[in-house]
């Protein structure tokens, strides 16, 4: 399964904050991301694999 398929949810949670949930070895990990450029790039139509990977890795690091 690719990393972009493991990003389950991206929800607005306040001014400049999004809660991002990923699937990691059968667990759901959630973290609050305040990097709006990363969120905007993820939601954009021409999102690169590097930005998706960066978002996934940041959620994994922050929720551990």
pLDDT value, residue 15:
92
Query: Is the pLDDT score of 64 beyond 80?
Result: no
Q: Which residue has the tokens 């954009």?
A: 44
Residues 6+ apart with CB under 8 A from 57: none
Q: Can you list the positions of beta strands (E) in the chain? A: 7-14, 17-24, 27-33
- Domain residue spans of the chain: 3-63
Predicted model pTM? 0.87
CB 18 within 8 A of CB 62: no
Query: Is the pLDDT score of 9 beyond 70?
Result: yes
pLDDT in tens, 12-62: 999 999 999 999 998 999 999 999 999 999 999 888 899 999 999 999 999
pLDDT value, residue 47:
86
């Amino acid at each position: 399964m690719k990393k972009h398929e493991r990003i389950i949810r991206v929800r607005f949670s306040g001014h400049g904050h999004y809660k991002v949930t990923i699937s990691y070895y059968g667990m759901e990990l959630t973290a609050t991301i305040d990097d709006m450029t990363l969120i905007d790039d993820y939601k954009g139509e021409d999102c690169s694999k590097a930005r998706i990977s960066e978002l996934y890795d940041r959620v994994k690091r922050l929720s551990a």
